[in-house]
Structure 1
Amino acid sequence: MTDEQQSTPTADGRQLGIVYSPCPNDTFVFDALAHGRVPGAPALDVSFADIDLTNGMAERGETDVLKVSYAALPYVLDQYALLPCGGALGRGCGPLVLSREEGPDLAGCTVAVPSEKSTAYLLFRLWAADVVPGGVGEIVVMPFHEIMPAVRDGRVDAGLVIHEARFTYRNYGLHQLADMGEHWERTTGLPIPLGAIIAKRSLGAQTLTLLADSIRRSVRAAWDDPEAARPYVMAHAQEMDPAVADQHIGLYVNEFTADLGEDGYAAVRGLLTRAAAEGLVPPLGPDALRFP
């Protein structure tokens, strides 16, 4: 937190704990809010963690506000509410399956994935059910930044990648085998749900509504003055090339980040309903996505 902050404590006088990733889309979205440039917003205590860790934190109820995979929602919506803004959902931004050779048959192959409770993995499982009749072989979970080197070095047959890997996989000499988002959009007509912002229902409707409004204002502030967010983005971008960071933001921060809207909610319900029908996640209750 900075001295310039003009944020508002919660009703019990404390800051809200929030955990999101160090990826450029998250730091871009939350820059103004994290640095006190959204007057009247709830005061935040910010931490960073990759999404596989935040999914687990949400299941354990460890903090107030988190960025999680949409795939994690069925496990946490008893404690947390899905916020209608701040997340990552869009078109042309899905996870990719990469391999060393062009066009291998994945039947029986070893595939590295970033998490078995990630939206990327759900999309992969739904894709594989449609196009890999024999089923893939062993699934190996590893941090997403280790997946491309593992595929390049032959330690796994293929890898499921997310984030900026869309723009950098050719640097590893890899080939795109399939685009999970393209398959999803073609078969459903819906945008691709990736990462969600959730907050504890126990915060109460007033705080949840204020938080959502503050996130929207933070998004708009970043759009209005992208250069103001650049130092925060690049400080946490893990030595990423600034041009790649800009591509990352341009792809993952869009109209659905400001508000899920009808199409966004339809995409979330569509993904989780189909995944539940395949036995991949528990079914959602009728009011599970209600806000606040």
Structure 2
Amino acid sequence: MKLTLSISTCPNDTFMFDAMIHGRIDTEGLEFDLTLCDIEQLNAAALSTAADITKLSYAVVPEVLDRYKILRSGSALGRGNGPLLVSRHKIYPDELSDARIAIPGEHTTANRLLGLLYPAAADKRAYLFSDIAEAVLSDECDAGVLIHEGRFTYRDKGLRLIADLGEEWEKRTALPLPLGAIAVSRRIAPDTQRTVDRVLRRSIAFAFENPAASAGFVRQYARELSEEVTRQHIELFVNAYSFDLGEEGRRAVVQLLELENEEAFV
């Protein structure tokens, strides 16, 4: 059975999915027609079309729950890995109402979190996530929300931290921060949904046990060419919650998205 699969080009996704895409593990008869995109492109596609399996920002999940369920494996969720709000010139959090803020897309979890924590920050402008640092450095924007590799390199570029949004979330909730999810279409039979979840978990386990196997695939799509930054990215965003959300991970998702129940999950 062949399923369409859409994931991001970020190292955490290519690391986790490498083994199942390239047949390094038992996929239980499943094959995958792969598309790789920026996260906001994936979010937009999920709102208008329907890949069988897709990466999503958790923020967009409520809008697609009529068509998708969230896998228990594959999430980018954890502690100390949230988006960073940065600036070139010193800005205090209570000054954000007057700031032009670059965000990595309207439907991203980063944007949802910014709105929850700093509702006065209303002047938001969408950029490709990899262009946000430059938008701030060039004074197109006063501040920017960095995700992915940007959190590891912003100081080297001369940017300063206004707030760690993930840290603020953890202080308020004592829960890990849900960032990205892997969703499977509800049109697929429940048994196959569970197979996809099982195969992805197997792929993640293989990646942890054989990190060199995915190195070429990860490097092919990584926007940051530094192997050290790529390694840090994977170590931060692929963790025990990626293998299985568990009870705490599900509670975090329910709270972030204000869900009434857990029917969102496979």
Q: Place the TM-score, normalised by the shorter chain, in its bin.
A: over 0.9
Once the two structures are superposed, residues 64-116 of structure 1 have per-residue CA deviations (whole angstroms, 9 ceiling, x without a partner) of 11000000110001111111111200100000001012344222211010111
Q: Percent identity?
A: 41
- The 2-side partners of 1:241 and 1:123 are apart by 28
CA gap of 1:165–1:79, structure 2 versus 1, over 3 A, is: same
1:112 aligns with 2:102: yes
1:172 aligns with 2:157: yes
Match of 1:91 in 2: 79
- The 1-side partners of 2:110 and 2:241 are apart by 18
Query: Which residue of 12, 22, 38 corresponds with 1:50?
Result: 38
After TM superposition, the structure 1 stretch with the greater mean CA deviation from structure 2, 23-32 or 34-43, is 34-43
CA gap of 1:97–1:51, structure 2 versus 1, over 3 A, is: same
Structure 1: unaligned runs, 5 residues or longer? 1-8, 10-14, 130-134, 274-283
3-state SS of 2:118 partner: helix
3-state SS of 2:141 partner: coil
Aligned-residue offset at 1:172 = 1.6
3-state SS of 2:179 partner: strand
After TM superposition, the structure 1 stretch with the greater mean CA deviation from structure 2, 204-213 or 52-61, is 52-61
Structure 2: unaligned runs, 5 residues or longer? none
Match of 2:115 in 1: 125
CA gap of 1:189–1:121, structure 2 versus 1, over 3 A, is: same
- The 2-side partners of 1:19 and 1:27 are apart by 11
Query: Which residue of 225, 233, 239 corresponds with 1:248?
Result: 233
TM-score, normalised to structure 2, is 0.96
Q: Is the 8 A contact 2:97 2:123 kept in 1?
A: no
What code does the residue aligned with 1:107 have? S
Once the two structures are superposed, residues 107-153 of structure 1 have per-residue CA deviations (whole angstroms, 9 ceiling, x without a partner) of 22110101111111111111103xxxxx2242111111111001011
- The 2-side partners of 1:69 and 1:271 are apart by 12
CA gap of 1:235–1:72, structure 2 versus 1, over 3 A, is: same
Q: Is the 8 A contact 2:254 2:262 kept in 1?
A: no
3-state SS of 2:56 partner: strand
- The 2-side partners of 1:204 and 1:253 are apart by 28
TM alignment of 1:1-292, pairs within 5 A: 9=1, 15-41=2-28, 42-104=30-92, 105-129=95-119, 135-273=120-258, 284=259, 286=261, 288-291=263-266
**Bigger RCO of structures 1 and 2 (CA < 8 A, at least 6 apart):** 2
3-state SS of 2:90 partner: coil
What code does the residue aligned with 2:222 have? A
Aligned length: 263
What code does the residue aligned with 1:158 have? A
3-state SS of 2:148 partner: coil
> Larger radius of gyration, structure 1 or 2?
1
Deviation beyond 2 Å, 4+ runs, structure 1: 102-105, 284-288
- The 1-side partners of 2:225 and 2:188 are apart by 36
Aligned-residue offset at 1:287 = 5.1
After TM superposition, the structure 1 stretch with the greater mean CA deviation from structure 2, 36-45 or 200-209, is 36-45
CA gap of 1:241–1:257, structure 2 versus 1, over 3 A, is: same
Q: Is the 8 A contact 1:61 1:79 kept in 2?
A: no
Q: Is the 8 A contact 1:89 1:257 kept in 2?
A: yes
